[in-house]
Amino acid sequence: MNKEKTIDEPPGLQLSLPITPAAPRRISPPLKVAVLANLKKNVPLRPDAPPDDAVEYDREETVEAILESLRLVGHKPFFLEADVTLLDTIRKTKPEFCFNISEGLRGDARESHVPAILEMLGVPYSGSRVLANAISLEKVIAKRIWRDRGLPTVPFQLFHDPEAPLRSSLRFPLFVKPVREGSGKGVSPTSIVQNEADMRREARRIVQDYHQPALVESFLPGREFTVGIIGNPPTGRRRANPDLYSSDGFHYFPVLEIDPNVGAGQGVYGSEAKLIVPGAEGSPVYTCPASISCNLKKEMYRLTKSAAIAIGAEDCGRVDLRLDSEGHPYLLEINTLPGVNPDVSDLCIMAKAEGMQYSILINEILNLAYDRYGLPLEEKAPVLALAAA
Ligand SMILES: Nc1ncnc2c1ncn2[C@@H]1O[C@H](COP(=O)(O)OP(=O)(O)O)[C@@H](O)[C@H]1O
Ligand SMILES: [Mg+2]
């Protein structure tokens, strides 16, 4: 177990090195928890879907790993497919809590569908709610909110019509991506464009194949990082693992650097590169903790927390950043539903690098959500701690 040390803090950000517990702990009473996800194998194929449509959906092994983690501390978890059957299956199985990782099946705000159903049914759930999930998916809205808060995000233009005039303030090279996708969908080395003809070709491809506007923004040529957090502002109630959190209520995972110049990515961390198991042939180079200055690390933690709070994210999140040519960090996007595949997901790579067991990560997300709802705690044995497996 680490001894707690305080890092030099910029104003407004209080960071302490975490004390990573040896085993997961449960603060709530044992719960009947429904794990909600869209399994890759159950997602219907749409005839007009882009080739990488299925990449964001979850594999059975991810759901199995979550179920196992929740079982380990005594919860009674079970899986429900997050499709149109959900309204009926929730009413039939009556979970006390839901662990939500559903990506949603269709529509502009698909990541908000399950939260909206759960709110309609009055069932508490982990992770961000309707609005934050919708904003996180719609990259341009998140960028406008951050710009309004003075947080760094590069200039952009949204192209509903790929032939619309390009604003003269945008300078090449530019980067073109779908406005509301994730998991690197629609992103490849051709997304970096050097001239207007190439920019229009990419914008047309996105509008036609992804049926949504193209987000065109300044290309950031520097190093790429992703920063994971779990936490919420303190509620005043006891946490199962209080030492895991800084006094601001958040736990900051070690910064992960991704070098997509190596392997299949060819400079871009797109869907192809994201799906390769780290270390396998063609995978980008992952370095965690990233080799960076203390100042850059603190600045990226500050930006991550501010970006999450600005859009109303809850319990967990991952923010992607890139540096400009002078080494200044800029917010690319936030993921309010970060992947939790134990082997390939960035958040799990960070937890592993810190020495945090997967089951701790999963149970903390549930503990944080339970705390946020202010649900009753067991009086006699409020914290169940398990010995390390
Ligand atoms: N403005 C940009 N400049 C340089 N690279 C970018 C830019 N925007 C996105 N990328 C590259 O594309 C990848 C995917 O973009 P991102 O905005 O994170 O969307 P996604 O939701 O698909 O992860 C990034 O990880 C990065 O490698
Ligand atoms: Mg990303």
pLDDT tens readout for residues 19-74: 777 788 888 889 999 999 999 999 888 878 888 888 889 999 999 999 999 999 99
Query: Which domain-ending residue is among 164, 198, 218?
Result: 218
Q: What number does the ligand 1 atom closest to the CA of 268 have? A: 27
Measure 225 CA to ligand 2 centroid, in angstroms.
10
Residue 317 included in any domain: yes
Average pLDDT, the chain: 91
Residue where the block lists tokens 């080799």: 291
Reported as a single tens digit per residue, the pLDDT across 151-195 is: 999 999 999 999 999 999 999 999 999 999 988 999 999 999 999
Examine the domain organization and report whether 193 and 316 are in the same domain: no
> Do 45 and 179 belong to one domain?
no
Give yes or no: residues 301 and 319 share one domain: yes
Instruction: Judge whether 328 lies within some domain.
Output: yes
Phi and psi, residue 175, nearest 5°: -125, 135
Same-domain pairing of 85 and 233: yes
* Judgement on whether residues 95 and 239 belong to the same structural domain of the protein: yes
* One domain, residues 103 and 244: yes
In a domain, 15, yes or no: no
pLDDT the model gives residue 1: 34
DSSP letter (8 states) at residue 19: -
Amino acid 206 reads I
Domain containing 202 — which CATH number? 3.30.1490
Question: Tokens representing 191?
Answer: 């997304």
Atom of ligand 1 nearest to the CA of 221: 4
Final residue of a structural domain among 171, 191, 218: 218
213 shares a domain with 88: no
Question: What is the domain range of residue 77?
Answer: 25-140+222-255+290-385
Q: What is the pLDDT of residue 258?
A: 95
What's the pLDDT band for 380 if we cut at 50, 70, 90?
low
Do both 174 and 314 map to the same domain? no
Is pLDDT larger for residue 276 or for residue 115?
A: 115
Tell how far the Cα of 237 is from the centroid of ligand 2, in angstroms.
Answer: 33
List ligand 1's pocket residues with C-beta within 6 A.
154, 175, 177, 181-185, 187, 217, 219-220, 224, 260, 268-270, 320, 322, 332-333
Q: Which atom of ligand 1 is nearest to the CA of 332?
A: 17
Nearest ligand, CA 318:
2
279 located within any domain: no
**Dihedral angle, C-alpha 115, 118, 120, 122, nearest 10 °:** -130
Residue 209 has pLDDT above 90, yes or no: yes
| CA 185 / ligand 1 centre spacing (Å) | 10
160, part of any domain: yes
Q: Which residues surround ligand 2, an ion (CB under 5 A)?
A: 320
List the structure tokens of 25: 């702990």
Per-residue pLDDT of 288-298, as tens digits, reads 999 999 999 99
User: Of 167, 202, 218, which residue is a domain's last?
Assistant: 218
Q: How many domains does the structure of the chain reveal?
A: 2
User: Look-up: residue for tokens 């992952």?
Assistant: 286
Which residue CA neighbors atom 13 of ligand 1 most closely? 269
CA–CA distance, 313 with 336 (Å, rounded to integer): 6
Same domain assignment for residues 367 and 379:
yes
Nearest ligand 1 atom to the CA of 333 is 17
Cis peptide before 24 (omega within 30 of 0): no
Q: Rounded to the nearest whole angstrom, what is the distance from the C-alpha of residue 163 to the centroid of ligand 1?
A: 23
Cα of 103 from ligand 2 centre, angstroms: 15
At 33, which CATH number?
3.30.470.20
* Statement to judge: residues 312 and 205 lie in one domain: no
Is 273 within the bounds of a domain? no
User: How far, in Å, are 24, 58, 110, 168, 263 from residue 176 at the CA level?
Assistant: 42, 26, 22, 16, 21
CA 213 → CA 113, 139, 188, 272, distances in Å? 21, 11, 17, 22
Asked if residue 7 belongs to a domain, the reply is no
* 240 and 125 within one domain: yes
Residue 37 lies in a domain: yes
CA of 367 to the centre of ligand 1 (A): 31
The pLDDT score that the predictor gives to residue 134 is 97
Both 349 and 248 in one domain: the answer is yes
> Which protein residue's CA is at the shortest distance from atom 2 of ligand 1?
219
> Can you tell me which atom of ligand 1 is nearest the CA of 139?
17
Nearest ligand, CA of residue 153? 1
For residue 216, the surrounding DSSP H or E stretch is strand 214-218
